[in-house]
Every structure is written in structure tokens, then in C-alpha cells.
Amino acid sequence: MARKTFPLSKVYGLLEPGPVVLLTTALGGRPNIMTMSWHTMLEFEPPLVGCVISNRNHSFGLLEATNECVINIPTVEIAEKVVGCGNTSGANTDKFERFDLTPKPAARVGAPLIEECFANLECRVVDTGMVAKYCLFVLEVVKAWIDPAVKNPRTIHHLGRGNFMVAGEKIKLKSKMK
């Protein structure tokens, strides 16, 4: 097989396996939504999630100020809203209103759940040691919600530059991994 060199600037599109999510934060009664695909699991239980949130984003300041957020997991049905939330700033836009999404009070944190997402993970920041260098926040999931009516969530996965993959097919294999 003749391999071709691959541009380093596009590598992230090969390695982004997790679903694109909507991160909600809130300060002073004003909630915000940010689209995020740079996240990774760090621990099973309690679940720890590492998230890269650029310090150019409005959400960065809200998360630094409150140490609380919700990771909301959308499906392809609202993909255009998801991209919209990733192309506008909460500094000058109420994204719940603009994209017709519904905030619902969370149980353990001040940031809202997004009703239109099939799963919502309420999170607290537990480690800021890598924020200054990488904008990497370590979050602990303190409460998780799921909509049992959504049987096969078709999550969306970012490949870069406006390209997405939609999850769908499931296969089961013997594995020692829990």
C-alpha cells in the first residue's frame, strides 16, 4: 500500500472519537452553551473527564468563575444547532433563545441541562493544574441523566472542517475491558 503523508494540521480529525457535546455554564442567571469535541475520559468512577476549553471562548471565563458545568450529549437531529452553538459567542448571544433550545434546572450544579439532549452530565471542576498550559479542565461527573426513550442515540463525531460522522451501527465482541 502506498502511504501518503498526512498534514499535521488535520491529525485531530482522525483521533476525535467521542461525540460532539454541548457544554453549558451559567453565571448571574445567564446560561451559555458551547460546542465541544476535545474531551476524553480519565477515570471510571467517579467519572473524570478532561476537556479542552479555549481561553478565547466566553465559556472559559464562566467555568473558571463557577467551577460548574453540564456536558449535554446531542444527536444528529439537532446537528445544525450544535454547529450553530460552536460558531457564535455567548458574550453577545443568548444561544438558548437563538437556537431554540430549552434549559432545565440541574440537580447538583448551577448550569442548566439541555432538554433536547438525550444525556446530561452534571460536572464540577476538580483539577485546574493544566488550565494555564493547555486550557485543560478536569471535570468530575457528580450526577448523570439519560432519556430512556432514546434507544439508539445517533451521536455526531467531528472529523474537522465541517465534516461529521454519525454513529449508528453497534457490534458486540468478547472483551475483558469493562
Ligand X SMILES: Cc1cc2nc3c(=O)[nH]c(=O)nc-3n(C[C@H](O)[C@H](O)[C@H](O)COP(=O)(O)O)c2cc1C
Q: Does 24 contact ligand X by CB under 6 A?
A: no
Question: DSSP labels for 25-85?
Answer: EEETTEEEEEEE--EEEEETTTTEEEEE--TTSHHHHHHHHH-EEEEEE--GGGHHHHHHH
Q: Does 72 contact ligand X by CB under 6 A?
A: no
CB of 156 to ligand X, least distance (A): 8
Q: How far apart are CA 178 and CA 161, in angstroms?
A: 34
Residue with cell 485543560: 136
Smaller CB separation from ligand X, 141 or 156: 156
Q: Does 114 contact ligand X by CB under 6 A?
A: no
Select from 19, 26, 31, 35 the one that contacts ligand X (CB under 6 A).
35
Grid cell in block for residue 35? 460546542
One character per residue 40-69, x = contact with ligand X (rule: CB under 6 A)? ------------xxx--xxx----------
Binding residues vs ligand X (CB under 6 A): 20, 32, 34-38, 52-54, 57-59, 83, 86-90, 158
